[in-house]
Structure 1
Amino acid sequence: MVKALTFRLHVDKEEAMRYYRGEASAVVAIADSGESLQFPALHVRRFITQHGIHGRFRIRFDDNHKLLNLERISD
């Protein structure tokens, strides 16, 4: 069974660069449902802009908590 959670990220430029360089290995966020989630930072690299990482995202994962998909759903 695939589970999906939505959440917002507002990461400043400096912290986003830590994700990009691999200095921070995990992203920690609170889903809209109130659940906490953590996933490898390499999955947010493609969303980094000159201003950092901002927007609302949807993450999908399987029963074993393997990340299947991460997408930005709005700014």
Structure 2
Amino acid sequence: MSDNQFIRFSMNISYDQYLAFYQGIAKTVSVIADDGRRIVFPAGNIRRFLTKAGIQGYFEMELTPQRKFVGIKKLA
């Protein structure tokens, strides 16, 4: 049985907002998880979800018990 943490959150980032990450202006994304925690992570972790509309949806991040990043998946 895994003791990994699963953190769920919504995200709505426009394409233009995400361009700031490509341009090096911003390096991290900050979101509020469903449980109220503020989660900050490298913008590169969500690059694969980028479309012409930006990044929108409901996501789940997995962390090890030592809070090491495992992955993010889009739920909806």
What pairs up with 1:3-22 in 2 under 5 angstroms? 3-22=5-24
Provide the residue aligned with 1:52 in structure 2: 54
> Would the aligned equivalents of 1:19 and 1:45 in 2 still touch at CA under 8 Å?
no
- DSSP 3-state at the match of 2:34: coil
What pairs up with 1:27-38 in 2 under 5 angstroms? 27-38=29-40
Opposite residue 30 of structure 1, the aligned amino acid is: I
Runs of at least 4 residues off by over 3 Å: 20-23
Identical counterparts, % of pairs: 28
TM-score by length of 2: 0.88
Q: Which runs of 5+ in 1 are unaligned?
A: none
CA distance in structure 1 between the partners assigned to 2:22 and 2:59 by the alignment = 18
TM-score by length of 1: 0.89
CA distance in structure 1 between the partners assigned to 2:16 and 2:55 by the alignment = 10
1:13 CA drift (Å):
1.3
CA distance in structure 2 between the partners assigned to 1:18 and 1:45 by the alignment = 12
1:28 CA drift (Å):
0.3
Q: How many residues align?
A: 74
Indicate the RMSD between aligned Cα atoms, in angstroms: 1.2
- Please tell me whether Structure 1 or Structure 2 has the larger radius of gyration of its CA atoms: 2
